[in-house]
Amino acid sequence: MNFGIIGSGSWGTALAKILTDNGQTIYWWNRNEATIEYIQSRHHNPHYLSSAYFDTQKLHLSTDLSLVIENSNCIIIAVPSAYVNDTLKNLSPKIFENKKIISAIKGILPDENLLLNDYLSKKFNVRLQNYFAVLGPCHAEEVAAEKLSYLTFSGIDEIVTHRIATYFKTPYLNTIQNNDIYGVQFAAVLKNIYAVGAGIAHGLDYGDNFLSVLIANSADEMAGFLRKAGIKNIEVGTIDQSHRTIGHEHQRTNYAASVYLGDLLVTCYSLHSRNRSFGNMIGKGYSIKAAQLEMNMVAEGFNASKCMHMINENIKADMPIANTIYKILWEGLTAKKGFAIIEASLL
């Protein structure tokens, strides 16, 4: 399988490391020629995960997006969700024909208010059978440090999903698979919103006791949304040991402990979490613009809070935490007043 990667941020760089560590030669798109020249000469990305070094003989680096796609039969899209439309807008409508697409995006496209699979179906006629999502819990920084991590691969074709996952399994990375494409993607979007909230709480000087209650209730709120949206397999602790899938003697039919709860916890607690860092600055009194400029990276939870607020107008799930975070980020509600509302909702 020939892999192409669209995006050279921290997550795209981490996935490039995983694949090349497994001996794969990849095509890798970067919009900046100077960055490409740096990687070729210095063997690492100067802007992200600079501790991760590459065998450049395994890299075909290019600023030509069409070239990268045409030379790959499995395309990983790893740009921030807010930039997807701008990145892909000039491509031929048939360029993804007969290609496998892996979403490494943990967000929702704000211009379209769509998950990536729905956007690709609308713009490029990509069938859901050819679409796969890769999710955590997994921070790029820990992949670079080769600390044991877990990736969840989701696709409705179980055989192909397993085949793709095998290319990413390393001594420092285990893989899990499922077929819940919509559930895992919505969970990834929501956990970023709640991580912003956890950061705001930290910035407001709430302690660990409150934070634990906030995150536990966020998990419950997430499950409520997913349940109303028709998603199954969202309860931690329910395991069918009789179910067997390809490559796993006993694959859990309920994987909530990892891809739902695990990803939520690491994103809310970890110092690597850009959403938590963004929220922390908001809690300390930074304006939205100042926090964005200070980070110089995209916090997916910012746009996600607005997108999910709009989506939930149809789903009508009870989401007081996510709704309050939206009001803080988009409607001018102060962090202090917003968390007074959240406090009351947790009683």
11: domain CATH number is 3.40.50.720
Per-residue pLDDT, 326: 98
Q: Is the pLDDT of residue 297 over 90?
A: no
Same domain, yes or no, for 33 and 21? Answer: yes
Same domain, yes or no, for 271 and 215? Answer: yes
| Domain end marker among 179, 198, 214 | 179
Q: Is the pLDDT of residue 56 over 70?
A: yes
Instruction: Say which residue, 310 or 241, is predicted with more confidence.
Output: 310
Share of the chain above pLDDT 90, in %: 81
Per-residue pLDDT, 236: 54
Q: How many CA atoms, within 13 angstroms, populate the side-chain half-sphere of residue 292?
A: 10
Same domain, yes or no, for 207 and 167? Answer: no
Per-residue pLDDT, 310: 96
Same domain, yes or no, for 193 and 243? Answer: yes
How confident is the model over 226-240, as a mean pLDDT? 70
pLDDT bracket for residue 7 (50, 70, 90): very high
Per-residue pLDDT, 261: 87
Per-residue pLDDT, 257: 62
Q: Is the pLDDT of residue 246 over 50?
A: no
Considering its fold, how many domains does the chain have in total?
2
pTM: 0.90
Per-residue pLDDT, 298: 81
Give me the domain span that covers residue 273. Answer: 183-345
Same domain, yes or no, for 212 and 268? Answer: yes
302 token code pair: 């910012």
The tens digit of pLDDT for each residue in 193-208 reads: 999 999 999 999 999 9
Task: Answer for the pair 204, 179: CB distance below 8 angstroms, yes or no.
Answer: no
| Domain end marker among 112, 145, 179 | 179
Alpha-helix residue ranges (DSSP H) falling in the chain: 10-21, 33-42, 65-70, 84-88, 116-124, 140-144, 158-166, 181-203, 208-228, 256, 263-269, 274-283, 288-295, 300-315, 320-330, 335-345
How confident is the model over 213-240, as a mean pLDDT? 81
The mean predicted confidence, pLDDT, of the chain is: 91
Same domain, yes or no, for 174 and 188? Answer: no
| Domain end marker among 179, 214, 244 | 179
How confident is the model over 185-192, as a mean pLDDT? 94
How confident is the model over 178-184, as a mean pLDDT? 89
